[in-house]
Structures are given as structure tokens and as C-alpha cells.
């Protein structure tokens, strides 16, 4: 099976320059797209089965198809690449940006052509300074080569692309909060509808896509739908960047067929657990997903399969819990992060997350009570889907509710022994 271009990422700390990217097929996808109509490009991405790689897994081609055409809504259209990447345990987009920035740029130009966007932005986390340098230099190269700017490759399509450095807040993972931040406002989510595809950046039609999502697009256009779908082990197309962190022998990031089993990722690629440690559970898609346990080791890591076992694929970056790490302490660390990152816009999130953190801290310090477990159960419902303005608090509750489900005895030990048994 031929490998996609994401395999061509340098290992020496540099990034792929334009001439090297072109040598391995770079910008051939753009050339192909510009020979097609925007609708044909959208239909091709739809047929390829590309789903968003940022966490939600929404169909990319479908999202693009919802954007009104310039005939329907005249004036500027926008495309935004979300490179804020603040999901705990997630580091895939940073590796893509630092290794192959032209891949993202090409994907953004194709996406912009498909939705007829005149302008696009990379919304980049402030701490990704090496990625910023790589992107800025790659954008300059693309302008010099005629891939950006006026009348791209003589097609009549013009596009401008720039990088916006964000202050770095988790809430910017929510697309409307990101748009507010890009406009210079406080990063609070917006009420929907209207959705950004109709009224987004400064009230104009806007698409927000993840870095990894857009990095897939050039290969669909250059290699074709059948090739792209053949890379996958499930009904959705393509490969996925899977990461593993925790007490494993080889923590890291690998590009594998979408639908690769959790067991293969953990045991073959991450090398299994370190000597002296046993697998206890894992968050399969970053810090805001539900725990899975040993009974789920053979689940296929794709959107539908992970959902069937009660969790989410999320970003596909696995955080492993071992038998010598306190699950209460692990969840406390996550809830502390989420409480800090709440934008404070709605009461359940603003008040509920600090309360959750306070109760977990008491439990970890040996001051917990049995009635606290009932309060935790209530909090996971009060901050569940449909009860908050956006998905931050429901996501924050996923590791807690699943920890209570799978590891409730560990919580009870803290109460009965008046201490953390793992310290």
C-alpha cells in the first residue's frame, strides 16, 4: 500500500521545504482541484469519507457543502485552520506543522477554492513557536511560487493566507469561541444557529477545520477517492495520527490506517506497558473522553467503533492509566485544567467545574465522604450534554463519569482509608 505524504516528515528537526515537498508530489492536489469546479472538489472529499480529525468527527465534505455560494451570499468567505491544540494529551497537529507545513497550506488552498473563500487564517497556539516559524517561511515560499496570491497558477482564483497567534485557551477549540478570539473579542462561544458556515467570522460564511483534517485533503485530490478509502480499515476513509502517552515503553505518534485496533497501537507501536506496570485503562481520544478498560483492547480506533463501547475517538491521542497511578489524582489533574480553562460564560461550567475540583482534592487528601460520590454523580448530569452553553463542561465530565463507572472502588478506598492509597 502506497504511503500518504504525511510519511514524508523530516526527522532531523527541520521541516519539508517547497522543493522537497514538490518532489514527493506536493501541490499536485491543488493543480488537480483547480481543473475542477468547486462542487466537484466538495463531492470528491465527501466520497472519500474524510471526517474531521479535531475531535467531533464531522464529515468534512458535508460541512463544506453547507457554505452558501458567493451567488447566494455575495462578499468575503473565510477558511480557518484550528491549530490551537489544547486538548490534554494531544500533540499531533504540532508534529504536522513542524514537519510538513506545505501540506497544510495546500489543503487550505484547496478547501478555500471549494468554498470560494478569498481569505484564510491559521489560528495557532502561542507556544508553538517552531511551528510558527515553519509556517511563515512555507507561506512565503508558496507566495513566491504562485500557489498563493492573485490568479493562482493562472486559474483565476485568488487567495490570501496568514497566521494568527492566539493567546492559547482551551475554549478556542470550540469554533465560535475561536472566531470571537480571531475578531479580537473575548473567546466565548456563540449561540447556534446561525452556524459559522452561514454567519461566522465578522458575520461572513466561514469554515473551521482542524490541522490534520486539512492535511488529508491534498492526497484525496492527487491520488483519488479509491486510493484514499483503501488506506482505511473502516467505512471512513484515510489514515489517522494516533498518539500514546503514559507509562508505555515507546510513547509517541504514528500514522496508521483509520480503524487500527487499540491493542495494536498500544502493544506494537507504543511497545506495551513499561516493566513493572500493568494496563488499567485509557482515555482514547484526549483528556475529555471516557475511560476504556482492558475489555476494550480490541476495539477498532475509529469514530463509530469507539462510540459503541461508550467513549469517543476524539483526537485519537491515547492517555494510558497504569495500575500504580491513582485514578482520582489523574481525574483531579484533568478537572483542575478544565476548571481553569472555562470561559465562565454559563453557570454550570463556571461554578460546577471548580466545585468538582474542590471535592476531588478533598478526596485525594483523605477528607472525602461517601455522600461526595452522590454529588459527583449529580454533577456529571448537571454538566452533561444539553445543560451547558457549549461542550467544554460535558467533555470535562467524561473522564469523571467513566472513572466512577469503572473504578468506583478506588474512590471508595480513598474515603474508607482517609488517604490516597497510591501515595
**CATH number of the 5-230 domain:** 3.40.50.11540
- Give 23-44 as a DSSP string: HTTTTHHHHHHTTS-HHHHHHH
Residues carrying CATH 3.10.20.600, the chain: 239-322
pLDDT of residue 7: 45
Reduce the DSSP state of residue 75 to 3 states and report it: coil
Beta bridge partners of 265: none
In this structure, are strands 119-125 and 78-83 parallel, antiparallel, or unpaired? parallel
Q: What are the backbone angles phi and psi of residue 310, rounded to the nearest 5°? A: 90, 20
Residues carrying CATH 1.20.1440.230, the chain: 327-417
**CATH number of the 327-417 domain:** 1.20.1440.230
| Residue range 126-183, pLDDT digits in tens | 999 999 999 999 999 999 999 999 999 999 999 999 999 998 789 999 999 999 999 9
Burial class (CB in 10 A: 0-12, 13-18, 19+), 101: buried
Task: Please tell me the distance from the alpha carbon of residue 181 to that of residue 307, in angstroms, as a whole number.
Answer: 31
Per DSSP, helices labelled H in 277-391 are: 303-308, 327-341, 347-364, 370-382
For residues 125 and 86, the answer to whether their CB atoms sit within 8 Å is yes
Given a cut of 60, whether residue 1 has pLDDT beyond it is no
Q: What average pLDDT score do residues 199-227 get?
A: 97
The residue length of the chain stands at 423
Q: What is the dihedral of CA 86, 279, 57, 232, to 10 degrees?
A: 130
Fold of the CATH domain 239-322: Ubiquitin-like (UB roll) (3.10.20)
pLDDT bracket for residue 15 (50, 70, 90): confident
pLDDT of residue 13: 60
Beta bridge partners of 210: 82
pLDDT of residue 168: 78
Alpha carbons within 13 A on the beta-carbon side of 319: 22
In this structure, are strands 279-283 and 317-322 parallel, antiparallel, or unpaired? antiparallel
pLDDT of residue 276: 97
Say which DSSP state 422 is in.
Answer: T
Provide the grid cell at 352: 460546577
| Residue range 17-30, pLDDT digits in tens | 999 999 999 999 99
Per DSSP, helices labelled H in 75-186 are: 92-99, 101-115, 129-144, 175-182
Per DSSP, helices labelled H in 145-263 are: 175-182, 211-223, 225-230, 262-263
| Residue range 185-211, pLDDT digits in tens | 999 999 999 999 999 999 999 999 999
| Residue range 82-113, pLDDT digits in tens | 999 999 999 999 999 999 999 999 999 999 99
pTM, two decimal places: 0.93
pLDDT bracket for residue 365 (50, 70, 90): very high
Q: What average pLDDT score do residues 12-40 get?
A: 93
Question: For residue 382, what are the contacts with CB-CB under 8 A and spacing of at least 6?
Answer: 348, 352
Burial class (CB in 10 A: 0-12, 13-18, 19+), 43: middle
pLDDT of residue 159: 97
Task: Give kind and range of the element (H or E) at residue 394.
Answer: helix 392-406
pLDDT bracket for residue 12 (50, 70, 90): low
Nearest to 147 by CA among 162, 159, 156: 159
pLDDT of residue 140: 97
Give me the residue label for grid cell 481553569. Answer: 340
Express the helix, strand and coil content of the chain in percent, nearest 5 each: 45, 15, 40
Residues carrying CATH 3.40.50.11540, the chain: 5-230
Provide the grid cell at 129: 513557536
Task: Please tell me the distance from the alpha carbon of residue 139 to that of residue 376, in angstroms, as a whole number.
Answer: 48
pLDDT bracket for residue 372 (50, 70, 90): very high
Given a cut of 60, whether residue 305 has pLDDT beyond it is yes
Q: What average pLDDT score do residues 336-365 get?
A: 96
For residues 314 and 289, the answer to whether their CB atoms sit within 8 Å is yes
Amino acid at each position: 500500500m502506497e504511503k500518504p505524504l504525511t510519511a514524508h516528515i523530516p526527522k532531523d528537526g527541520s521541516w519539508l521545504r517547497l522543493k522537497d515537498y514538490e518532489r514527493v508530489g506536493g501541490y499536485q492536489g491543488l493543480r488537480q482541484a483547480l481543473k475542477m469546479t468547486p462542487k466537484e472538489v466538495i463531492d470528491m472529499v465527501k466520497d472519500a469519507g474524510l471526517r474531521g480529525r479535531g475531535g467531533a468527527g464531522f464529515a468534512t465534505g458535508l460541512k463544506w457543502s453547507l457554505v452558501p455560494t458567493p451567488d447566494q451570499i455575495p462578499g468575503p468567505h473565510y477558511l480557518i485552520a484550528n491549530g490551537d491544540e489544547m486538548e490534554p494529551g494531544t500533540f499531533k497537529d504540532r508534529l504536522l506543522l513542524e514537519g510538513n507545513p506545505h501540506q497544510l497550506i495546500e489543503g487550505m488552498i484547496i478547501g478555500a477554492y471549494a468554498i470560494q473563500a478569498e481569505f484564510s487564517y491559521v489560528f495557532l497556539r502561542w507556544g508553538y513557536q517552531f511551528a510558527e516559524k515553519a509556517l511563515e517561511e512555507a507561506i512565503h515560499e508558496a507566495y513566491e511560487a504562485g500557489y498563493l496570491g492573485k490568479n493562482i497558477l493562472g486559474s483565476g482564483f485568488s487567495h490570501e493566507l496568514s497566521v494568527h497567534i492566539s493567546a492559547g485557551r482551551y475554549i478556542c477549540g470550540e469554533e465560535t469561541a475561536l472566531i470571537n478570539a480571531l475578531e479580537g473579542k473575548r473567546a466565548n462561544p456563540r449561540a447556534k444557529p446561525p452556524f459559522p458556515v452561514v454567519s461566522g467570522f465578522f458575520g461572513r460564511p466561514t469554515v473551521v477545520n482542524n490541522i490534520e483534517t486539512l492535511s488529508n485533503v491534498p492526497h484525496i485530490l492527487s491520488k483519488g477517492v479509491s486510493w484514499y478509502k483503501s488506506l482505511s480499515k473502516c467505512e471512513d476513509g484515510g489514515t489517522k495520527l494516533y498518539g500514546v502517552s503514559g507509562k508505555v515503553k515507546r510513547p509517541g505518534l504514528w500514522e496508521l490506517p483509520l480503524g487500527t485496533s487499540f491493542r495494536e497501537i498500544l502493544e506494537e507501536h507504543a511497545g506495551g506497558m513499561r516493566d513493572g506496570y500493568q494496563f488499567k485503562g485509557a482515555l482514547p481520544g484526549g483528556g475529555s473522553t471516557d475511560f476504556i478498560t482492558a475489555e476494550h483492547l480490541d476495539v477498532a480506533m475509529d469514530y463509530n467503533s469507539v462510540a459503541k463501547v461508550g467513549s469517543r475517538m476524539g483526537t485519537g491521542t491515547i492517555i494510558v492509566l497504569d495500575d500504580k497511578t491513582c485514578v482520582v489524582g489523574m481525574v483531579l489533574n484533568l478537572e483542575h485544567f478544565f476548571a481553569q480553562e472555562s470561559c465562565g460564560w454559563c453557570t454550570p461550567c463556571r461554578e460546577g467545574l471548580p466545585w468538582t475540583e474542590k471535592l476531588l482534592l478533598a478526596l485525594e487528601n483523605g477528607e472525602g465522604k461517601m455522600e461526595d460520590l452522590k454529588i459527583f454523580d449529580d454533577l456529571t448530569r448537571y454538566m452533561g450534554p444539553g445543560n451547558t452553553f457549549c461542550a467544554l463542561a460535558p467533555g470535562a465530565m467524561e473522564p469523571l463519569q467513566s472513572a466512577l463507572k469503572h473504578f468506583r472502588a478506588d474512590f471508595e478506598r480513598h474515603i474508607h482509608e482517609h488517604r490516597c492509597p497510591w501515595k
